[in-house]
Amino acid sequence: MELIKADMSIAQRKYQSRLNLFIKRLKRPLKLTAETMTNGFTTEQFSNRFRELYPQLWLQISETYEDLNVLNENRVRRHLKPVPNISNPDAFLAERSRTLLAKRREQMKKTETNENAEKLYTKLLEKAQQSKNKTEEIKKELYDLQLLTPEKFEVLQKEYFTLRKSKPLEVDERLNILQEVAKYKSKETVKFLKKIQNCERNYKLQDFAYKALLNMHAPNVWLHRQFRGKMKQTYGLTPQKMQTPQELLRNIKQAKWQKHMSKDIFISHRSTDKDVINKLKDVLNKQGFDCYVDWMYDKEQLPRELSCKETAEVLIERLKQSKALLYVLTEDSLKSLWMPWELGYFSALDRPIYVYKVVELENMPEYVGLYQQVWIENSTLGYKEGDVFIPLKREY
């Protein structure tokens, strides 16, 4: 969208400036990609080559387009002028590279060799692989996040904005809701946190949303300036985080939104088996299961050094919120005092229980044989009926 600067609003100038910075970042990658093209190439081949060599930039182009589309829909609904946006990603790439491709085709007419182009392509491909490896390392850093949208996400959004409107001075509960949302990474949760970062006037809540987005490695995250208009009391209030089992238990029992929260699977495990649990959590997330693991989900409120009676009460509430239990059997799990207790309590709830054996044990507890055994095959958790493997599904 081309606008004359004098006719632009403050918001339009801000987003136009961001677009200009983004377009400036694209110049060198586009130039280098064009230099890898050989005789007779097409615009479509160039576009595919750019996606191959710069996958993260291509993803950022697509997400910039989607983010600004959503923003403009909201602005039009509020009778505000739309901010500048790029055209759809393919058209945008073709538009920004038109001159470069014309120059490259002219160069191709003067030379018959593609040797330099092929060398450059090999070099950029190696860098792309390094970037891909770095992306995989970043994904490992997200081990404590659920890579899906919580089942009752609409409840969290509604409760946040209801509190913001009806009880603006109660910033603690709004922070609790943001902490809950920040445990999940998905398009919906990233969109919600960006909305909070854009519209929330309380500086601490805005800052929490910003840091949560950075922790998720979400694209297009900007640190906004502090509000410059007339100050209200709520803008400078500092919300207090829940830091103890007692505070968490009180919130679970008293907060309205907590009554709607549920988990698909409570993973009963030994804390020393973290590598196994990380793998299990990723597998279950891909199958659409929302998992509860105490040192991931309630890590700030349930540290081992603060273990007490309220810790057990919190786990009871989390067991009540769960639709099924997965008992992870390892050599270390036999030393756990908590796991048999969790299994016994959940058995009384008469809900599905599954046992995942990491290793076969000679001294395996007899009660484990009472429950359905599950395996991982082709990165999918499921059980067997005869020789047939049946993936676990969210049917309860």
What pLDDT is recorded for position 226? 67
Is the confidence at residue 277, as pLDDT, over 90? yes
Q: Encoding tokens for residue 335?
A: 């030393």
**Residue 40: which of 115, 93, 104 has the closest Cα?**
104
**Residue 198: which of 188, 210, 186 has the closest Cα?**
210
Q: How far is CA 60 from the centre of its chain?
A: 15
What pLDDT is recorded for position 4? 46
* CATH pick for 256-391 out of 3.40.50.300, 3.40.50.12780, 3.40.50.10140, 3.40.50.970: 3.40.50.10140
Domain boundaries, the chain: 5-141, 153-221, 256-391
CA distances from 22 to 89, 142, 284 (A): 13, 26, 36
What's the average model confidence in pLDDT over 379-386?
A: 91
pLDDT above 90 covers what percent of the chain? 51
Q: What is the three-state SS of 26-83?
A: HHHHHHHHHHCCCCCCCHHHHHHHHHHHCHHHHHHHHHHHHHHHHHHHHHHHCCCCCC
What pLDDT is recorded for position 6? 47
What pLDDT is recorded for position 377? 92
pLDDT class of 360 with cuts at 50, 70, 90: confident
Whole-structure pTM value:
0.79
